[in-house]
Structure 1
Amino acid sequence: MENLSTEEKLKIVTNFLLSSPPGESDEVYNDIRVLTADDPALQTGILNALREYNTEQYITVNLPLQENQENQVLVSKFGQIENENDLYLDPKSHQAFRFDHMIRTVTDVEPRPPDEKTEPLRSAVENAITNYVEDHFKDGVSSVYSTENGTITIAIVDNKYNSSNFWNGRWRSTWVVDPETGKLKGNIKVNVHYYEDGNVQLDSNKEIEVETSTTTENPAAAAAAYVRLIGKAENEYQTAVNEAYIELSENTFKSLRRSLPLTRQKLDWDKILNYKIGQELLMPKIAEPSTTANKE
C-alpha cells in the first residue's frame, strides 16, 4: 500500500472494517494497523469506519445501573443523540451514555427523562418485545426507541461466537411501527462466517412490510399485536433459511460434486498402483520405437 494516496488507503481500510464478520472486527482492525503502519492521517477515518460498523451491527455494551447492577444495551443510530459526540440513549433505563468506538467503553452515564407523549406506547412495546426476545433468542438484546413524529423503532440483535470451531454469527432485525398508518416495516439481516479450512459467509437481507388495524388506545394490546406480527414474520424467515440450507445440502452441493464413487466406497489412492487400471491412469505412456526401417 506504499504507493497509494491517503484517500485510497482510507477507502480500502474502511471497506475492510465494514465487511468484518461478526465478532472479528478486532482482528481486522489489528491487521489494518499493521498494513497502514499506524499512519496518523488514517486514524480519524478509521474511527469513522468503526463508528459506522458498531452502530450498524448493533454492538452491545454493559451499562451500569443502580445498586452495582449492569444492563446490556445496544449502540445504534436510533439511539444517537443529535448534536452530541458519540452520546447514545438507552430508552429502557432512561439514561444517556458516551461510547468510545475505538476501545468500546462506556463513560458519562447520566439520566435522560423520556418523552411523556410517546412513552406509554414505547414502554408497552418494550415490555412485549423483551418477553419475545427472551423466549426466542438465547443471547438476544433489544431496544425500543421513540421518535418525535410518533413512530416506534425496535432493534433486536443476537450474537453467537464460536471461534474454537471456526464460526461466528449474528442476527439483526429492525422494525418500525407507524401507529397512525398502521404500517409495520421490518428488515432482517443474518451474517454467518465459517472459516475452517476455507472461508464461507452467509449474508442474508430480508425486507418485510405488513399492515395492521391496531389502534393505540390500549398501548398494551397494541404492543402485543405488533409483537405477534413480528414473531410470525421472523419465524417464517427462519423457516425459509432452514429449508434453503437443506436444499443446498441435499441437492445443490451434491449436484456439484459426487460425494462417493458409484461403488459408494472411497477410493484408496495409495493402492491404486497395484491395479492395472491404476497403472494405465497414472503412469505416462512411453512412445514405442518405430518398426518401419528407413529405406535408402
Structure 2
Amino acid sequence: MALSVLSRKEKERVIRRLLIQAPPGEFVNAFDDLCLLIRDEKLMHHQGECAGHQHCQKYSVPLYIDGNPVLLSHHNVMGNYRFFDYQSKLSFRFDLLQNQLKDIQSHGIIRNETECLRTVVLCALKLYVSDHYPAGNCNVLRKSIKNKEFLIACIEDHNYETCQFWNGLWKSKW
C-alpha cells in the first residue's frame, strides 16, 4: 500500500514504528531515508522526536555531560520526553537527530544512604567497565518503587561500523 493512501494517523504510526526499529547507531540514517520517501518535513521531525526518545531508551544511547557518560534508558525517564542524570543532577530533553541536549534544568537530589551507596557502586562499576569493555559506558541509577529505593546498574558498549555493514551493541542491567 502506498503511503499517500494512508491517513495522517496511519502515516505517523508507520513512520514511528520504522524509526524505532532502526538498528543501533543508524537512527539518523533511517530518518534521512524516510524523509526522502515521506516528503513532509513537519510530520517527520515530530515523529523523529517521538521515535528518537524511544530509540534512546531501547538501545541505552550514551552521551556525555561535563565529560561524564550518561546512558539514556527507560530507567532515567522523567516523562514528557525528559531524561534525568544523577551525576550532573540535570534533567533534559535529548534530540537524537541533532545529537543535542535541550531544555536543561537543574534538580536537587536528596543526599541519603541510597545516594551515597549509588556513588560508591558507580565508582566500582566504572573500574570494572574500564577493565572489561573497550569503549564501555556505565551508569548507576536510583529508582523508587512503592517507597522502596533500588539501584540499577547499566553497562553499554558498542562498535558501529556502518560503512563495513555491521554494528555491535552490548547492554546489560542489574
Q: TM-score range with shorter-chain normalisation?
A: 0.7 to 0.9
Q: Relative to structure 1, is the Cα distance of residues 110 and 11 closer, same or farther in structure 2, using a 3 angstrom cutoff? A: closer
Counterpart for residue 128 of structure 2: 132
Give the aligned residue type for 2:38: T
Q: 1:111 to 1:4 in 2, by over 3 A?
A: closer
Secondary structure, aligned partner of 2:160: strand
- Find the aligned partners of 1:102 and 1:4 in 2 and give their Cα distance: 25
| Alpha-carbon distance in structure 2 between the residues aligned to 1:116 and 1:92 | 12
Gaps of 5+ in 1: 65-69, 176-296
> How much identity, in percent, do the aligned residues show?
28
Distance 1:115 1:153 in 2: 17
Deviation at 1:108, TM superposition (A): 4.9
- How far is 1:109 from its partner? 4.5
Higher strand share: 2
1:96 paired with 2:85, answer no
The answer (yes or no) to whether the contact 1:86–1:100 under 8 Å persists in 2 is: no
The AA in structure 2 aligned to 1:92 is: Q
Offset at 1:90? 1.9
Aligned counterpart for 2:76 among listed residues 69, 75, 79? 79
In 2, Cα distance between equivalents of 1:109 and 1:101: 15
Q: TM-score, normalised by structure 1?
A: 0.52
CA distance in 2, matches of 1:124, 1:135: 17
Asked which structure has the greater RCO (Cα within 8 Å, sep 6+), the reply is 2
CA RMSD of aligned residues (A): 2.1
TM-superposed CA distance for 1:110, in Å, is 5.0
Q: Match of 2:23, SS?
A: coil
Task: Name the aligned partner's letter for residue 143 of structure 2.
Answer: T
| 8 Å Cα contact 1:61/1:106 also seen in 2 | no
- CA, structure 1 residues 108+4, in 2 after alignment: closer, same or farther (shift >3 Å)? closer
Q: Is 2:60–2:72's contact at 8 Å kept on the other side of the alignment?
A: yes
- Alignment TM-score, normalising by the size of structure 2: 0.84
Q: How far apart are residue 37 of structure 1 and its match?
A: 0.8
Q: CA deviation at 1:18?
A: 1.3
Deviations 1:21-71 (A, max 9, x none): 12111110001111111253454333211111112211112212xxxxx22
- Tell me if the contact between 2:12 and 2:43 (Cα under 8 Å) persists in the aligned partners: no
**More off after superposition, 28-37 vs 111-120:** 111-120
Q: CA offsets per residue over residues 180-212 of structure 1, 9 Å max, x none?
A: xxxxxxxxxxxxxxxxxxxxxxxxxxxxxxxxx
Query: Which residue among 115, 122, 127 is the counterpart of 1:119?
Result: 115
State the SS of the aligned residue for 2:124: helix
Displacement of 1:163: 2.7
Unaligned runs of 5+ in 2: none
What residue identity is the alignment partner of 1:116?
R
Q: What SS does the aligned partner of 1:2 have?
A: helix
Amino acid at match of 2:24: P
**Conserved 8 A contact 1:122-1:144:** yes
Partner SS state of residue 4, structure 2: coil
Partner of 1:30: 32
Structure 2 counterparts to residues 1-296 of structure 1, below 5 A = 1-38=3-40, 40-64=42-66, 70-82=67-79, 85-109=80-104, 111-117=106-112, 118-148=114-144, 149-175=148-174
> SS of 2:154's equivalent?
strand
2: CA distance between counterparts of 1:88 and 1:119?
18
Once residues 54 and 92 of structure 2 are traced to their aligned partners in structure 1, the CA distance between those partners, rounded to angstroms, is 17
| Aligned 8 A contact 2:52 2:95 in 1 | no
